[in-house]
Amino acid sequence: MARKVALVTGAAGGIGSAVVRLLAEQGTVVAAVDLDNGQLWETVEKLAAEGLPVRGHPADVTSSADVEAVIDAVEEQLGPIDYLVNAAGVLRLGEVTDLSDQEWYLTFAVNANGVFFVSRAVVSRMVARRRGSIVTVASNAAGTARSHMAAYAASKAAAIAFTKCMGLEVARYGVRCNVVTPGSTDTHMLHGMHADGSAVTASVAGNPDAYRTGIPLGKVASPEDVAHAIRFLLSDEAGHITLQGLTVDGGATLGV
């Protein structure tokens, strides 16, 4: 994967930043994209100070114009994009009866529309070059009902279906499209779900009253656990894998 070019959205987040680091450490030139300008530059400057080939590109994935502009800039400055990782995501919790229109729209704007806008812009270029690999980061909640997570789960299910349909359409051009579905992962998003600081213990133990199993492996994932799964699906080691989903949840969904 050395001397290739990757674009990673959500690059300032827990999973996104882990992917950026892992790819850069293998010699991939990484365009790190995020809306959080401050956190993005903090991430980029830290990695660049270590001599890693990372470039920051602030952008709003919910804007198709913003996306097209950043893709043009990345390809002009760094070269053709070989790998795309859709890792940008937001979580809004609440029962369906309490969700506001704004919370629903924002969740889909980032988690579904963002995947569409970025993938469309990148894959059109990959098709012309007849090569490329795309991984969308979804969630195990997309296939397992979770209370208070209807908007998030629905948006991630949409991202999965979109990515696989896109993969079917572009397979004949040698472009592969896969999905990684993490479970509870040690990120700010997970800790934001438990204001009392119990995120890890609560995730591992589960909650029978909410019909939620725990984690058989007895631990939450690290961002690096998820990043390694993404790297594998991007790489030539997965050269005959497309339209697939790889679940990284320590067994939380019991293999279903």
For the stretch 146-174, pLDDT in tens is 999 999 999 999 999 999 999 999 999 99
Query: Would you place residue 219 in the very low, low, confident or very high pLDDT band (cuts 50, 70, 90)?
Result: very high
pLDDT recorded at residue 195: 79
Residue 105 annotated among the catalytic residues of the structure: no
For the stretch 242-256, pLDDT in tens is 999 999 999 999 998
Query: Would you place residue 197 in the very low, low, confident or very high pLDDT band (cuts 50, 70, 90)?
Result: confident
Nearest to 59 by CA among 131, 121, 107, 138: 121
Active-site residue (options: 83, 105, 152, 173)? 152
Q: Where are the domains of the chain?
A: 5-183+221-248
Arch. (CATH architecture) of 5-183+221-248: 3-Layer(aba) Sandwich (3.40)
For the stretch 26-82, pLDDT in tens is 999 999 999 988 999 999 999 999 999 999 999 999 999 999 999 999 999 999 999
Nearest to 132 by CA among 180, 75, 77: 75
State the SS3 of the chain: CCCCEEEEECCCCHHHHHHHHHHHHCCCEEEEEECCHHHHHHHHHHHHHCCCCEEEEECCCCCHHHHHHHHHHHHHHHCCCCEEEECCCCCCCECHHHCCHHHHHHHHHHHHHHHHHHHHHHHHHHHHHCCEEEEEECCHHHCCCCCCEHHHHHHHHHHHHHHHHHHHHHHHHCEEEEEEEECCECCHHHHHCCCCCCHHHHHHHCEHHHCECCCCCCCCECHHHHHHHHHHHHCHHHCCCCCCEEEECCCCCCCC
Query: Would you place residue 192 in the very low, low, confident or very high pLDDT band (cuts 50, 70, 90)?
Result: confident
Q: Are 137 and 226 in contact (CB under 8 A)?
A: yes
